Amino acid sequence: MADSTVVFITGVRRGLGKALAQAYLARPNHIVIGSVRNTSDSNVQELKDTPTATGSKLHLVSFESTSSTDVAKAVKEIEAAGIAHIDLVIANSGVCPEPSTIAALDVNDVITAFNVNTAGPLILFQGVRHLLEKSKKSPKWVSMSSAAGSIGHLELFNAAPVAAYGISKAGMNWLTMAIHSAEKWLTAFSIHPGLVQTDMGNKGAQMIGLEIAPNTLEESTSKTIAVIDKASRESTSGKFINTIDDTEIPW
């Protein structure tokens, strides 16, 4: 495992997390750690059955992303399996409460979204930081954010109706920038993977009058990985990148 590239992706049961895990498994000598709430869930079986390239394999861990004890236990399990470092973390797990006007916004939706989308990545970072430090391949932290979290383009992206989601993703972006600032050895950045044809993405598309999200899962996956592959501390860290057109989004 010492020569393998180790990728940790949260939320691989479905959607973009699953597609990213499958794409990395198709690369030789990649160990993909994927988190799900329940490793025996029937929806996880397709991922378990994914063909792998030479030297690659999947390692699933189960935890609730908002539980520091769950994450710590999963990290110990990873280390017990002989995985002594992590090269790339993609903090992908997330929730999007139902849309609402600001006037009618339920503060409990804000709290729920913040716990999962902002506090969850913080707990994850604290749990895996020491394994990222052991990487010999320029370690990377990638926050799966959303254009809805951009304060600078809030009006342009018409994000007010998804306030709970947007607030939590803005918090995630702040956390990402703080990681970049505090950890000079790490490449840390946020990405907007497009408005993707997943359950969450299609719901968001319908909110703005589209029948279906404009970006296919295949397009988002390939372009996201392309951005991650070329990312460096000098060129990418501390930025918020739209992976679809490889442009920078204002915080």
Task: Give 69-80 pLDDT, tens digit per residue.
Answer: 999 999 999 999
Ranking 31-35, 153-157, 179-183, 231-235 by mean pLDDT, the lowest is 153-157
Q: Check whether 206 has a pLDDT greater than 70.
A: no
pLDDT of residue 192: 96
Per-residue b/e over 20-41, b at no fewer than 16 CB within 10 Å? bbbbbbebeebbbbbbbeeeee
73-125 pLDDT per residue, tens: 999 999 999 999 999 999 999 999 998 999 999 999 999 999 999 999 999 99
Residue with the bigger pLDDT between 39 and 133: it is 133
Q: Check whether 143 has a pLDDT greater than 90.
A: yes
Ranking 5-9, 78-82, 96-100, 193-197 by mean pLDDT, the lowest is 193-197
In the structure, what pLDDT confidence band is assigned to residue 1 with cuts at 50, 70 and 90?
low
pTM for the model: 0.94
pLDDT of residue 211: 78
Q: What is the average per-residue pLDDT within 182-209?
A: 84
Q: What is the average per-residue pLDDT within 187-216?
A: 81
Q: Check whether 2 has a pLDDT greater than 70.
A: no
Mean pLDDT over each residue of the chain, to the nearest integer: 94
Q: Is 169 designated active site?
A: yes
In the structure, what pLDDT confidence band is assigned to residue 203 with cuts at 50, 70 and 90?
confident
* Annotated active-site residue in 48, 169, 223, 239: 169
Give percent above pLDDT 90 in the chain.
Answer: 83
Q: Check whether 174 has a pLDDT greater than 80.
A: yes
In the structure, what pLDDT confidence band is assigned to residue 226 with cuts at 50, 70 and 90?
very high
Q: Is 184 designated active site?
A: no
In the structure, what pLDDT confidence band is assigned to residue 209 with cuts at 50, 70 and 90?
low
Contacts of range 21-26, beta carbons closer than 8 Å, 24 or more positions apart: 21/47, 21/50, 21/58, 22/47, 22/50, 23/221, 23/222, 23/225, 24/56, 24/225, 25/50, 25/51, 25/52, 25/53, 25/56, 25/57, 25/58, 26/51, 26/52, 26/53, 26/56
* Annotated active-site residue in 76, 165, 184, 230: 165
Domain 5-192 has CATH 3.40.50.180: no
In the structure, what pLDDT confidence band is assigned to residue 3 with cuts at 50, 70 and 90?
confident
Helix, strand, coil percentages in the chain from 3-state DSSP, rounded to 5:
40, 15, 40
